[in-house]
Structure 1
Amino acid sequence: MTNVLEKLRSMTTVVADTGDLDAVRRLKPIDCTTNPSLCLKAFDDPASRSLLNAEISKGEAAGHSPAEIANDLPVALGAELSKLVPGRVSTEVDARLSYDTQASVARAHQIIDAYAQRGIDKGRILIKLAATWEGIQAAQILQKEGVDCNLTLIFCLAQAIACADAGAHLISPFVGRITDWHKAANNVSDFTPENDPGVASVREIFNYYKAHGINTIIMGASFRNTGQIKALAGCDNLTISPELLTELAADNSNLSCALDASAVPKTPLLSMPEQAFRWNVAQDRMAHDLLADGIRKFHADYVKIVRRLT
């Protein structure tokens, strides 16, 4: 009997949201991602920890600072992940650069060069940037250079439209964080998949993109349960934790395609220049709060790695 994970793979590209090498070998996703948060978790996986410790020793022997080594670890992990997946590995530009377009572009170039030194072509990499206005403009520059980008921390349609205007290769709407925010704001314990605000946000973006033939890939992320994942079956990509991938693999229930690009409602085409972008994000308290919070959390995990190396 075909399990839900296999059924999902027939309609959606499944990506592993982990730096755990053993989990990637076991679950066989198409793409992977790496960032400081996942590097921290990777220290708990024996295979990943061995790789990271070897990279730390190499950096220390070369006289690199803890901050330099912390920057090298996601690339080292990403290079190893690239051997295990047939697709792309997303690698994140430092969160502290999220409001600096030129610095983000420069850091992206460093990441691409670091992969090249390890024999990994830029075609295997997605540069991951926070979807601030400055991050989106950095993506536009990089896309024109032939460097594909993953715009992360997407919480509203305005961000998604600006990313499409910039020609971003892929966006990552964060389902679970939207859900968590609405639970707290509305003092509710849970939502069903059909009334889940995080699911609804991805569906809104999906409908808008498909109605206007936008090629930017939508990759739902940050899931709290398999119900959210099933409710987005048919989305271009879904990035899923090993725990939820394992649950899906053990589930033999039916799965229907929830998102159909051929049956989306018509919507007006909108543009999102800087003033409109900033106004729309500022007016959406949830998106405004979660974008800033996500950047803080990514940077906090980078700082934890630096302290671990000090």
Structure 2
Amino acid sequence: MKFFIDTANLEEIKKAKALGILDGVTTNPSLISKESIDKEWIMDHYISICDLLEDEEDLSAEIISTNYVDMIQEGEKLSLLHPKIVVKIPMCEDGIKAIKFLSKKNIKTNCTLVFSIGQAILAAKSGSYYVSPFVGRLDDISHNGLSLIKDIKIIYDNYHFKTNILAASIRHPLHITECAKIGIHAVTSPLNVISNLVQHPLTNIGLDKFLKDYKNKF
């Protein structure tokens, strides 16, 4: 399973790379708005992110347009910025049409804000490279986000859809490990969630004992 970091912060991306687990980056307008950059420098910021990535890694950069014509124009513009960019498009009728159009032009897309099986099927049928179901946001409203991931995986396997499942809105390590058991392509999460996979109280206790025993002897 691939690990993507959900951020637009260059330092966080560098830390993920240093940890040795980075497979890609996802962003959205909210994450971009947190960075200290002016609007006219957003495209340059995307390029800076891409320049940090290795050959097989990619960046999902989200459009802000909401109608078909503007979506495809913005999508084409983003795709020309850098070969590592995947155009992130929200789930809606015009979004599905835009994904279909861009896919026919061999432009990779990521269908985002997916919350249902039906939406996931449409994303795959339109040719999206990634589909991003939002696990945590479903949990927030007392729906089982992981159950949706399981159902999408079953349906995609049934029909041999090539769309990759990229689980988003990951809130804690359990989301990551459960997604791994389901067998999906990738998860995207904040860096701190991935870092928390390292932690276990028994690991800390064991390490402290090993070092104490060594010190007492030598």
Instruction: Provide the TM-score with structure 2 as the length reference.
Output: 0.83
Q: What pairs up with 1:90-101 in 2 under 5 angstroms?
A: 90-94=60-64, 97-98=65-66, 100-101=67-68
Show the counterpart of 2:193: 244
Identity %: 26
Letter of the structure 2 residue corresponding to residue 240 of structure 1: S
Query: How many Å apart are 1:229 and its aligned residue?
Result: 1.5
How far 1:250 moved relative to its partner? 3.0
Q: Which residue of 2 aligns with 1:221?
A: 168
Aligned match of 1:89: 59
Alignment check: 8 A CA contact 1:34 1:77 kept = no
Q: Does residue 38 in structure 1 map to residue 31 in structure 2?
A: yes
The whole-number CA distance in structure 1 between the counterparts of 2:105 and 2:151 is 30
Within the candidate set 7, 18, 21, 2:7 is matched to: 18
State yes or no: 1:78 paired with 2:46.
yes
Deviations 1:175-206 (A, max 9, x none): 00011012xxxxxxxxxxxxx70111111101
Q: Deviations over 1:76-102 (max 9, x none)?
A: 2221111222211111110xx33x212
The 3-state SS of whatever aligns with 1:231 is: helix
Q: Which runs of 5+ in 1 are unaligned?
A: 1-11, 44-51, 57-67, 183-195, 254-310
Residue 110 of structure 1 and its aligned partner are, at CA, apart by 2.3
Q: CA deviation at 1:40?
A: 2.6
Task: Find runs of 4+ consecutive structure 1 residues off by over 6 angstroms.
Answer: none
Higher strand share: 2
Residue 46 of structure 1 is matched in structure 2 by none
**78 and 251 in structure 1: CA distance in 2 versus 1, 3 angstrom threshold:** farther
Question: Residues 26-65 of structure 1 correspond to what in structure 2 (within 5 A)?
Answer: 26-28=15-17, 29-43=22-36, 52=37, 56=38
- Which structure would you say has the larger RCO, counting Cα contacts within 8 Å and 6 or more residues apart? 1
Specify the code of the residue in structure 1 equivalent to 2:44.
A
> Residues 252, 166 of structure 1: CA spacing in aligned structure 2 closer, same or farther, 3 A cutoff?
farther
Shift of 1:148: 0.6
Aligned residues: 194
Check 1:252–1:30 CA distance in 2 against 1; reply closer, same or farther (3 A cut): farther
The residue aligned with 2:205 is none
Q: 1:252 to 1:24 in 2, by over 3 A?
A: farther
Given that residues 171 and 189 in structure 2 are in contact (C-alpha distance below 8 angstroms), is that contact kept between their aligned partners in structure 1?
no
Q: Among 185, 196, 201, which residue is 2:148 paired with?
A: 201
Equivalent residues of 1:199, 1:232 under 8 A apart: yes
Deviation at 1:243, TM superposition (A): 1.3
Moved more, 155-164 or 101-110: 101-110
**Aligned AA (1:222):** S
Q: Which residue of 2 aligns with 1:177?
A: 137
Are 2:153 and 2:184, in contact at CA under 8 Å, matched by a contact in 1? yes
| RMSD of aligned Cα (Å) | 1.7
